[in-house]
A = this chain, B = another copy of it.
Amino acid sequence: MDATPEAEARAPRRLWQLPTWLVNRAALQAQRIANDTGIRRHHYAVLVALREQGPASQAALGRTLSIDRSDMTAMLDEFEHDGLVARTRDEHDRRRNLVRLTPAGTRALRQLDAHVDAVQDALLDPLSTAERRVLARLLTRVVEHHGGVARHDAPGARAPGRRT
């Protein structure tokens, strides 16, 4: 009769069959785990890119990481304020800011690395090593397939984005 208190605790079957729903849930859970350790995805991504690829302009960073130019400006303001990166005018092209890691940024990144590795482990806890590889491979193929979907910068790209 009246709903038992926990009777509806499970999401509808239809949703569990939808890859888009599963992948969204998983991403949410990943983000929750990461947030609990104080990690912000964008922040980590920018620091990693600077370490691996060296100094870069803000626009290049944005293209590399699919981060909007606007968000990039705000994020680097923070980083600069905290002394993790330095922005200098690129003398070869004075429109650009050359962004580079400071020693403090490098140290902060090294600490984040360990946390990030721990988050991976927490997320994939129920999977074996082999299963993790399979999952990574499949996700990589999906992501690469849609990799060109850069809406942020590319001129001419327009979205419907309708409201009702």
Q: Please list the residues of chain A having a beta carbon within 8 angstroms of any beta carbon in chain B.
A: 1-3, 8-38, 41, 45, 48-49, 51-53, 56-57, 60, 63-66, 82, 92-93, 116, 119-120, 122-127, 131-132, 134-136, 138-146, 149, 151, 159-164
Contacts and interface: CB of A to CB of B under 8 A. Distances in A.
A145 B126 contact: yes
A129 to B, nearest CB: 12
Given A8-B56, A126-B142, A142-B26, A135 B19 contact: yes
30 contacts: A8-B56, A8-B60, A8-B64, A12-B53, A14-B52, A15-B48, A15-B49, A16-B140, A19-B124, A19-B136, A19-B139, A22-B143, A23-B26, A23-B123, A24-B27, A25-B139, A26-B27, A27-B28, A29-B146, A36-B161, A36-B164, A37-B164, A123-B142, A123-B146, A126-B144, A126-B145, A134-B134, A134-B138, A135-B135, A138-B138
Nearest to A150: B9
Contacts of A35: 159, 161
Contact of A56 (B3, B31, B57, B65): B3
Contacts of A23: 23, 26-27, 30, 123, 139
In the complex, the 3 A-B pairs of residues with the closest C-beta atoms, listed nearest first: A27-B27, A126-B145, A22-B139
A109 to B, nearest CB: 10
A40 to B, nearest CB: 10
Contacts of A135: 19, 135, 138-139, 142
